[in-house]
Amino acid sequence: MDSKTTVITGGSSGLGLETARHLLKLGQSVVLVGRDEARTRAAADSLAALAPAGSNATPPRTYTADLEQWSQARCLATKLTADGVPVDVLINNAGAAFPRYQQTADGVERTYAINHHAPFLLTHALLAERALTDEARIINMSSFVEKRGKLDANDPDVAGTSWGNRFYNQPNVYATSKLVSLLAARELARRLSDGMSMYSANPGMVKGTAINSNAGGLMWLTAPLFTPFAIPIEEGVKTPVWLASALPTPQPSGGYFTKSKADMPSRLAQDDALARRVYEKTAALLGIEPLKTYST
């Protein structure tokens, strides 16, 4: 049986690298995407001997891209297509939180650029390039903190720039960026062709991830309060690994999953009209032609 190929953004460390490690042990081929070429290559080298004997898994491949920049997300999709990489599973894992308001060169807030725009843009670019296989699974790394997100349902800010005009509450910015991404994924699932699946995976509070010790600012100050409740990284990757490998294909597409089970996100995240609005506004912001609706 041919090995499935999984592309993982933010794959040079943390949840991304640990997810790659588990999938490689299951016989999947993995492609790591990271911002730093040397670090990403070293991560791939650390995985080299993990594929089970007799599997068709290819040696880990690497690509370098700073997904904070829209142009690099598009370029990554073009490179993957040009290299003939069949994307059976796309795990949009790259994420970040920042201690103060900053805009990217594209004129959007940095947290939103990485947590929302990058997965949206890369997924649509791969769809446009026809690099995703017919039964591809797309997995966005979500977060339980989306329940803390605040959004104007009538005019949702999908660029994050409204945070430049009010108090920049770092945990709330991060939470809202995850909420917006979750809503867009919900709507995208309705528009994918038959056979493809879209999931949002909640890994839980994992040691060393963006919502605690690595974030700086308010998150850094409050991290000690949550440390006793943080889970090991090996536990945090169980849900995305399951979504990427389980047979039969997990259901429902468009769902939010915790501990390898369909879970209930926030009330706002279940608002289909808001999901459609967020999807269409994000597509317009990024200059993407919205997919037409396939299912209801």
Residues 6+ apart with CB under 8 A from 101: 109, 163, 164, 168
pLDDT of 207 reads: 80
Instruction: For each of the domains in the chain, give its residue range(s) and CATH number, in order of start.
Output: 5-203+231-286 (3.40.50.720)
Q: Are 97 and 174 in contact (CB under 8 A)?
A: yes
pLDDT of 3 reads: 85
Distance (Å, whole) CA 268 – CA 275: 9
Residues 6+ apart with CB under 8 A from 153: 268, 271, 273, 274, 277
Tens place of pLDDT per residue across the chain (296 aa): 468 999 999 999 999 999 999 999 999 999 999 999 999 999 999 998 999 988 999 999 999 999 999 999 999 999 999 999 999 999 999 999 999 999 999 999 999 999 999 999 999 999 999 999 999 999 999 999 999 999 999 999 999 999 999 999 999 999 999 999 999 999 999 999 999 999 999 999 888 665 544 455 555 555 555 566 789 999 999 999 999 999 999 999 999 999 999 999 999 999 999 999 999 999 999 999 999 875 44
Residues 6+ apart with CB under 8 A from 250: 197, 199, 242, 243, 257
Residues 6+ apart with CB under 8 A from 34: 10, 11, 12, 13, 16, 40, 43, 62, 64, 65
